[in-house]
Structure 1
């Protein structure tokens, strides 16, 4: 594995984050997976950048991957019974194809898990595209458990995963 540095993305790096997301979207589309029509929620990404919730994984200054990490539990997915405040949430994680298979995704998820633990949260959570079963298997291989699948007709996402911060 290449040395990975993880740092907050700066508001002026919107293009870098978008390029990583655009590349991931194109790769998914090439595999017949209709996920992440780009640009996804540009206004939300811009606001998250300003709040310091978007992160970049880099090596030798080159962007490898991005993710957003925050305490926003999507109310269409996470119910009061789930205790939404008990977790940090991963959104919009994308790894450059140049670094696919290098372990940077797992590194980012472990880093996010440590941040959740440090924040006193018992869970790291995310939602994934409902019918991207390869992605589900990936998250399970990273220690996440499928909580449930929420099938809302207006949402492509809805497979809910969580991982405990303490084992």
Structure 2
């Protein structure tokens, strides 16, 4: 991870966070994937930035990704799973200029180290229910699929976790 510089996003960088999300949304749509095909939830992004949970990743001064890592569990997903035993990853996005350079895996490893430092045994995330390629991505990075929860008002619901002691950043992921 030495080639990435990861730091909390600032409020004046909210447009950049939103821009990465929009780039990913358009890329997904071009591939026929229905994930994130709604307007960005800027209010949620701003809340994560203000809370210090949204982080930006830079390589050689170029913004290459973002990830939000929260202490608070979404109890619609995690109420039965010892919610305080993990940190929770949201809105992991890698810029297309850095696709295939292991940025996503390195951000996940960084989040896992952060969770370990906070004495949490698990790093957790919920993924889009219908994005099988994304599910495979997380499985290939050491996550276990716990279950898929089907809530009619939510598109996410594929619940994954991995031990915070695991780092598996392979070369060439998106």
**TM-score of the two chains, using structure 2 as the length reference:** 0.91
* Distance in 2 (alpha carbons) for counterparts of 1:40 and 1:129: 15
TM-fit CA distance, 1:144: 0.4
CA deviation digits over 1:126-147, x for unaligned, max 9?
0000010100000011110000
Corresponding residue number in structure 1 for 2:172: none
Q: Which runs of 4+ in 1 moved over 3 A?
A: none
SS in 1 for 2:134: helix
* Distance in 1 (alpha carbons) for counterparts of 2:143 and 2:40: 24
**TM-score of the two chains, using structure 1 as the length reference:** 0.95
Corresponding residue number in structure 2 for 1:143: 142
Corresponding residue number in structure 2 for 1:107: 106
Structure 1 37/64 Cα, relative in aligned 2: closer, same or farther at 3 Å?
same
CA contact (8 A) 1:121 1:165 kept: yes
* Distance in 1 (alpha carbons) for counterparts of 2:157 and 2:10: 29
* Distance in 1 (alpha carbons) for counterparts of 2:48 and 2:131: 25
Corresponding residue number in structure 2 for 1:155: 154
Q: Which runs of 5+ in 1 are unaligned?
A: none
Please provide the CA RMSD for this pair: 1.4
Q: Which runs of 5+ in 2 are unaligned?
A: 167-174
* Distance in 2 (alpha carbons) for counterparts of 1:20 and 1:35: 14
* Distance in 1 (alpha carbons) for counterparts of 2:64 and 2:39: 19
TM-fit CA distance, 1:72: 2.1
